[in-house]
Protein backbone atom coordinates (compact mmCIF):
# COMPACT_ATOMS: atom_id res chain seq x y z
CA UNK A 1 0.00 0.00 0.00
CA UNK A 2 1.34 3.42 -0.98
CA UNK A 3 0.18 6.37 1.05
CA UNK A 4 0.84 10.09 1.28
CA UNK A 5 -0.10 11.67 4.60
CA UNK A 6 -0.90 15.38 4.45
CA UNK A 7 -1.44 17.66 7.41
CA UNK A 8 -0.22 20.84 9.03
CA UNK A 9 2.84 20.42 11.28
CA UNK A 10 1.43 19.25 14.60
CA UNK A 11 -1.68 17.64 13.13
CA UNK A 12 -0.65 14.27 14.57
CA UNK A 13 1.01 12.86 11.47
CA UNK A 14 3.88 11.34 13.45
CA UNK A 15 1.58 9.50 15.86
CA UNK A 16 -0.72 8.23 13.13
CA UNK A 17 2.20 7.26 10.91
CA UNK A 18 3.50 4.94 13.59
CA UNK A 19 0.11 3.25 13.97
CA UNK A 20 -0.32 2.85 10.22
CA UNK A 21 3.12 1.44 9.42
CA UNK A 22 2.87 -1.05 12.29
CA UNK A 23 -0.54 -2.24 11.14
CA UNK A 24 0.29 -2.63 7.45
CA UNK A 25 4.04 -3.43 7.70
CA UNK A 26 5.02 -0.67 5.33
CA UNK A 27 7.96 1.74 5.50
CA UNK A 28 7.90 5.39 6.43
CA UNK A 29 9.58 8.15 4.53
CA UNK A 30 9.58 11.42 6.44
CA UNK A 31 11.41 14.20 4.63
CA UNK A 32 11.57 16.21 7.88
CA UNK A 33 13.29 13.29 9.68
CA UNK A 34 15.62 12.65 6.75
CA UNK A 35 16.60 16.32 6.55
CA UNK A 36 17.13 16.58 10.32
CA UNK A 37 19.36 13.48 10.16
CA UNK A 38 21.49 15.20 7.50
CA UNK A 39 21.74 18.31 9.70
CA UNK A 40 22.75 16.21 12.74
CA UNK A 41 25.34 14.32 10.70
CA UNK A 42 26.77 17.66 9.55
CA UNK A 43 26.65 16.74 5.85
CA UNK A 44 26.83 19.37 3.11
CA UNK A 45 23.18 18.74 2.32
CA UNK A 46 22.32 19.23 5.98
CA UNK A 47 24.24 22.49 6.12
CA UNK A 48 22.31 23.78 3.10
CA UNK A 49 18.97 22.70 4.59
CA UNK A 50 19.51 23.97 8.14
CA UNK A 51 18.68 27.68 7.71
CA UNK A 52 15.39 26.77 6.00
CA UNK A 53 14.42 24.28 8.70
CA UNK A 54 15.34 26.72 11.48
CA UNK A 55 13.07 29.40 10.06
CA UNK A 56 10.24 27.05 9.05
CA UNK A 57 10.73 27.69 5.34
CA UNK A 58 10.67 25.05 2.63
CA UNK A 59 14.03 23.54 1.85
CA UNK A 60 14.81 24.07 -1.88
CA UNK A 61 13.19 21.68 -4.34
CA UNK A 62 16.37 20.01 -5.65
CA UNK A 63 17.61 19.11 -2.18
CA UNK A 64 14.30 17.59 -1.06
CA UNK A 65 13.76 15.81 -4.35
CA UNK A 66 17.17 14.15 -4.07
CA UNK A 67 16.33 12.96 -0.57
CA UNK A 68 12.95 11.48 -1.50
CA UNK A 69 14.19 9.96 -4.75
CA UNK A 70 16.94 8.16 -2.91
CA UNK A 71 14.57 6.69 -0.32
CA UNK A 72 11.96 5.60 -2.86
CA UNK A 73 14.57 3.90 -5.02
CA UNK A 74 15.99 2.01 -2.06
CA UNK A 75 12.50 0.85 -1.05
CA UNK A 76 11.62 -0.14 -4.57
CA UNK A 77 14.82 -2.24 -4.82
CA UNK A 78 14.02 -3.85 -1.48
CA UNK A 79 10.55 -4.77 -2.91
CA UNK A 80 8.81 -3.56 0.24
CA UNK A 81 5.09 -3.88 0.91
CA UNK A 82 4.67 -0.18 0.36
CA UNK A 83 5.32 3.12 2.03
CA UNK A 84 3.84 6.06 3.80
CA UNK A 85 5.31 9.45 2.92
CA UNK A 86 5.05 12.10 5.62
CA UNK A 87 5.99 15.71 4.92
CA UNK A 88 6.23 15.40 1.14
CA UNK A 89 4.89 16.78 -1.15
CA UNK A 90 4.64 20.27 0.35
CA UNK A 91 3.69 22.14 -2.85
CA UNK A 92 2.47 21.53 -6.40
CA UNK A 93 5.90 21.21 -8.06
CA UNK A 94 6.80 18.54 -5.48
CA UNK A 95 3.49 16.73 -6.08
CA UNK A 96 4.08 16.70 -9.83
CA UNK A 97 7.65 15.50 -9.33
CA UNK A 98 6.40 12.71 -7.06
CA UNK A 99 3.87 11.60 -9.67
CA UNK A 100 6.61 11.37 -12.29
CA UNK A 101 8.96 9.55 -9.97
CA UNK A 102 6.33 6.99 -8.93
CA UNK A 103 5.29 6.50 -12.54
CA UNK A 104 8.91 5.69 -13.44
CA UNK A 105 9.09 3.23 -10.55
CA UNK A 106 5.67 1.82 -11.52
CA UNK A 107 4.41 2.43 -7.97
CA UNK A 108 1.42 4.77 -8.14
CA UNK A 109 -0.17 6.12 -4.95
CA UNK A 110 -3.19 4.27 -3.57
CA UNK A 111 -4.43 6.99 -1.26
CA UNK A 112 -3.72 10.44 0.18
CA UNK A 113 -4.86 11.00 3.75
CA UNK A 114 -5.40 14.56 4.97
CA UNK A 115 -5.43 15.02 8.75
CA UNK A 116 -7.54 18.09 9.31
CA UNK A 117 -6.96 20.12 12.50
CA UNK A 118 -7.75 23.80 13.02
CA UNK A 119 -4.85 26.23 13.38
CA UNK A 120 -5.47 27.46 16.94
CA UNK A 121 -5.36 23.86 18.18
CA UNK A 122 -2.12 23.35 16.21
CA UNK A 123 -0.35 26.32 17.81
CA UNK A 124 -1.24 25.00 21.27
CA UNK A 125 0.01 21.51 20.42
CA UNK A 126 3.30 22.67 18.87
CA UNK A 127 4.21 24.97 21.72
CA UNK A 128 3.84 21.97 24.04
CA UNK A 129 5.87 19.69 21.71
CA UNK A 130 8.86 22.06 21.92
CA UNK A 131 11.10 20.83 19.08
CA UNK A 132 13.96 23.26 18.09
CA UNK A 133 11.86 24.77 15.31
CA UNK A 134 8.69 25.00 17.47
CA UNK A 135 8.79 28.65 18.56
CA UNK A 136 5.76 30.81 17.89
CA UNK A 137 7.19 32.77 14.90
CA UNK A 138 8.39 29.65 13.13
CA UNK A 139 5.12 27.88 13.81
CA UNK A 140 3.11 30.76 12.31
CA UNK A 141 5.41 30.76 9.29
CA UNK A 142 4.99 27.00 8.81
CA UNK A 143 1.20 27.35 9.04
CA UNK A 144 1.25 30.19 6.50
CA UNK A 145 3.36 28.08 4.14
CA UNK A 146 0.92 25.20 4.56
CA UNK A 147 -1.96 27.52 3.73
CA UNK A 148 -0.26 29.09 0.69
CA UNK A 149 1.68 26.19 -0.79
CA UNK A 150 0.53 22.85 0.61
CA UNK A 151 -3.24 23.30 0.85
CA UNK A 152 -3.65 23.42 -2.99
CA UNK A 153 -2.63 19.75 -2.88
CA UNK A 154 -5.97 18.95 -1.29
CA UNK A 155 -7.79 19.79 -4.50
CA UNK A 156 -4.94 18.34 -6.61
CA UNK A 157 -5.43 14.92 -5.02
CA UNK A 158 -9.21 15.27 -4.79
CA UNK A 159 -9.30 15.65 -8.59
CA UNK A 160 -7.25 12.48 -8.92
CA UNK A 161 -9.78 10.67 -6.71
CA UNK A 162 -7.12 9.89 -4.11
CA UNK A 163 -7.91 12.21 -1.20
CA UNK A 164 -9.59 11.16 2.07
CA UNK A 165 -10.06 13.79 4.75
CA UNK A 166 -9.92 12.77 8.41
CA UNK A 167 -10.81 14.92 11.39
CA UNK A 168 -7.58 15.10 13.36
CA UNK A 169 -8.99 16.28 16.71
CA UNK A 170 -10.38 14.16 19.53
CA UNK A 171 -9.25 10.84 20.89
CA UNK A 172 -6.07 9.54 19.21
CA UNK A 173 -7.31 5.93 19.10
CA UNK A 174 -10.59 7.04 17.49
CA UNK A 175 -8.60 8.83 14.80
CA UNK A 176 -6.45 5.72 14.28
CA UNK A 177 -9.53 3.50 13.96
CA UNK A 178 -11.06 5.88 11.45
CA UNK A 179 -7.86 5.74 9.39
CA UNK A 180 -7.70 1.94 9.63
CA UNK A 181 -11.28 1.60 8.37
CA UNK A 182 -10.40 3.71 5.34
CA UNK A 183 -7.13 1.90 4.66
CA UNK A 184 -8.71 -1.55 5.06
CA UNK A 185 -10.98 -0.64 2.13
CA UNK A 186 -7.91 0.10 0.01
CA UNK A 187 -5.69 -2.77 1.21
Residue 105: count other Cβ atoms within 10 Å of its Cβ.
Answer: 15
Q: Restricting to residues 31-70, which ones interact with ligand AMP according to CB under 6 A?
A: 31-32, 35, 52-53, 56-59, 64
**Does the protein bind ligand AMP through residue 29 (CB under 6 A)?**
no
Nearest to 6 by CA among 68, 61, 86: 86
Q: Which of 74, 129, 160, 167 is catalytic?
A: 129
Q: Which of 74, 81, 131, 167 is catalytic?
A: 131
Peptide bond into 89 cis (omega under 30): yes
According to DSSP, residue 58 is labeled P
Q: Restricting to residues 106-135, which ones interact with ligand AMP according to CB under 6 A?
A: none
| Least spacing, CB of residue 90 vs ligand AMP, in Å | 4
List CB contacts of 97: < 8 A, sequence separation 6 or more.
Answer: 61, 65, 89
Which positions lie near ligand AMP, rule CB under 6 A? Answer: 9, 31-32, 35, 52-53, 56-59, 64, 87-88, 90, 94, 142
Amino acid sequence: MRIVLLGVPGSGKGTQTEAIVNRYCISTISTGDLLRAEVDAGTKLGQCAKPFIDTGNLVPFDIVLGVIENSLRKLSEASSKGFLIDGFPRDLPQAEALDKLLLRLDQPLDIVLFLDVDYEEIIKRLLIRGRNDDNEDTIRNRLQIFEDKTSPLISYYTKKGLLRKIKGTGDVTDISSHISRILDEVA
